[in-house]
Structures are given as C-alpha cells and as structure tokens.
Structure 1
Amino acid sequence: MPAVDQIVEEAALRRLVDSYGHAVDRRDYALLRTLYHDDGVDDHSPYFVGPASEYIEWLPSMLANWSATSHVMLSALFLIDGDRAEGIVNARAWHLTADGKRAFIAWGRYADRYERRDGVWRFSHRFFVLDSIENRVVDNSDDFGSAGVAVSAPGLEDPIYSRLPMFGVDRGIQP
C-alpha cells in the first residue's frame, strides 16, 4: 500500500476509535451504533460479551453507576490488509461514582478487528484487555477557582453541543 494511502486508512481508523470514546462519554448511543457493523461483537468480559447492538442496549444501565466518564484513546497501532484491519489501542477509562466520592481508572488496551464495507471502516470485534486499575478517593474540598467554568454533562446537555454547532444533533459525525 502506498504511504499516502496507509496514512489515510490509519486516520480513518483513528477517527473511529476516538469517536467511540466520545460516544460513550456523551451517552451518544446513536453515534455508537454507527461505529459497529450490524454483525459486530463487543467483548467487555466479564461484564458483557455479545452482539454490539446488545452491548449498546446494555451500556446505559452500566453507565448509570457513574456520574461522569472519560475514555481517552492513547497510542494506537494498526495493521491493514485490504478491507480488513487489526488494531491495538492503549486507553484510559476514568469513571466518577454517582456520589462523586470515588474515581475508578482502568488502564488497558482495546484489541480491535475492523472491516471496511462500502468504503467505511467500522468495528467488527472489540475486546478490552485490562492492564491495571486505580481506585481513588476524590477530594472536592478545593475547586482551585473553577467557579463559572462550563461543566460536562452526559448527552446533549453537554456544553460542547451549544458551543460547537457542527457537533449538534444533526452533525453526522462519521467514523
């Protein structure tokens, strides 16, 4: 594959994995559905293993345990073979408990298989590998002068949607 084509394909795969974190953190299940092929599988063992459509249906009940999350995709390596690809994506998944008193941070890797169908890359299979965890007590006693700073929220109530109209409901973020 020519170098320019390799860069373009890797950029498309990177956008896909970054869109996953955004969709989960903003509880944007419509976007999340566009990231998997209809026959895609998600494996977050032991919590969920099965069709991606069922994973997306299950996810709101799991996320209800957390007042906020932040899924950050760090380094990524992709191997591309025609319309198939595999990727290892290092990630940090931060979760704040519903009462705001504890933070749970999972460090790990997504082991992904992707397929390009009709010119669009999507997940065909996602598997999460846990490397380590952190469990922290959250000290909210000093907000370091953050009064008045826009505060995140799940869903369309998040300030990014009012401040960045291109990311609004009809934004059509594509993987």
Structure 2
Amino acid sequence: MTFGPRDVQTLLDHEQIRAGIAGVARGEDRRDADLIRASFWPDAAMDFGIFAGDLDAYLDWVVPGSPAVPVTQHALGQSVISLDGATALAETHVTAYHRVDFGAEEHDVVLGGRYLDRLERRDDEWRIAARTMLYDWSRDLGVAADWSAGLMGEPFRGDHYTGKANGDHSESFFGASRVAGQR
C-alpha cells in the first residue's frame, strides 16, 4: 500500500479538524474564550437547543459559565469526518459532565450527545462555521461527592488534585502555551 500527497493531505485535514473540535471542549471546560475562538470562524453560528446565536453571543453565554455550574468536563469520542473540497462535515460524540449547584446541594449531571459541525477551510486553516448539538441521553447522578476531602477515604497530598473551571493545576501544567499543539 502506498500513500500519495492527496492521502497525506487528507490525514492532515482530519487531524486539524479533530484538534479544533478538541480545542473547543478544552476552552469550554476552562472557560477560555481565546481557545474557543481559535476553533470557530468569526461568522460562525451555533444551536444548542437551549442557546442559539453567533460566536460572540455564544462566548458571552459559555465563557463566564453559570456560577451554578462550577465544573464541566467534555470527553470526546469518535469523529466521523466527510471532506468535500474546502468544506467538511463532522459528527463527534461527546459525554459531558456538569457539577450543578442546586442551592442546598450539588449534583453530578452527565449527558451524551453529538456535535454536528460544518467546517470550512480558509487560507489553509480549518475552523467550525456552524455547530448543532444533538442530545441522546442525560442522567442526574444525585448528590455530588466532596472531592476536596480526598478519594475513597484517602486524603489528597496537596490541594492541586481537584479540577475546576478556572485556576486549577492544568493552567500551571501547560503554562503559557495553555494547551499542547495550540495554534
């Protein structure tokens, strides 16, 4: 089996698309507008069912996040990518964890769904031009565990083991680059 220049370019296109999709997830979890913005074209549109709008409105909604949702984690699954010239369609599975503060108690809520992204290549760069979220399932796991006390009865040896949207150990881990491979 031999690979030609077209095959190599297809692999590079797929990797750049996947990196952009992953950048959005990290940006949402860290509430970092620059990371999110780097993966979307400025004229992008999105529709999440509970929110629809342009990129600026989306950033205004997702970056500060709700104080009632102090922690999120978006775990991405497979992406099916269909390339057609300077346009691509991608479906990416996502499992999203949210710690939700209901006032008297916090709950762990998990949902599963798929991002449907239409991407465009402009000046040799792939970014998302439109995103729609499909929801496949949701589960309220009940009262959240207090991770600050440790794990399975054992205390943590330091305060940097628990994650949060802003100011956790991942910021110092990545330093100025903020995420490996960031453009």
1:59-94 Cα distance to aligned partner (Å, 9 max, x none): 245432212000111111000111110000000111
2:51 to 45, 48, 53: 48
Task: Quote the residue 1:11 is aligned against.
Answer: 15
Higher alpha-carbon deviation: 131-140 or 48-57: 131-140
Gap change, CA 1:89 and 1:168, over 3 Å in 2: closer
Worse-matched range after superposition: 68-77 or 143-152: 143-152
Contact 2:71 2:99 in 1 (8 A): yes
Give the whole-Å Cα distance in 1 for the aligned partners of 2:27 and 2:155: 26
CA distance in structure 2 between the partners assigned to 1:139 and 1:154 by the alignment: 16
Q: Which residue of 1 is the match for residue 134 of structure 2?
A: 129
How far residue 153 of structure 1 moved from its aligned partner, in angstroms, is 2.4
Alignment partner, residue 164 of structure 2:
153
- Measure how far apart 1:154 and its partner are: 1.9
Counterpart code for 1:24: E
CA contact 1:111–1:127 (8 Å) conserved in 2: yes
Do the aligned partners of residues 60 and 18 (structure 1) sit closer, same or farther apart at CA in structure 2, a change above 3 Å counting? closer
| Separation (CA, whole Å) in 1 of partners of 2:117 and 2:72 | 21
Alpha carbon RMSD of aligned pairs, Å?
2.3
Match of 1:106 among 105, 111, 120: 111
Q: Which amino acid aligns with 1:92?
A: T
Distance 2:8 2:178 in 1: 31
TM-score (norm 2): 0.84
1:33 aligned to which of 34, 37, 40: 37
Q: CA deviation at 1:19?
A: 0.7
Match of 1:115 in 2: 120
Identity %: 23
**Residues 146 and 18 of structure 1: CA distance in aligned 2, closer, same or farther (over 3 Å):** farther
1:64 to 59, 63, 67: 67
Of residues 64, 70, 89, the one that matches 1:86 is 89
User: Does structure 1 residue 143 correspond to structure 2 residue 146?
Assistant: no
Q: Is 1:160–1:167's contact at 8 Å kept on the other side of the alignment?
A: no
Q: Mind listing any 5+ residue stretches in structure 1 that lack a counterpart?
A: none
Runs of 4+ with >4 A deviation: none
SS of 1:173's partner is coil
How many angstroms does 1:24 deviate by?
Answer: 0.3
Opposite residue 85 of structure 1, the aligned amino acid is A
Aligned residues: 171
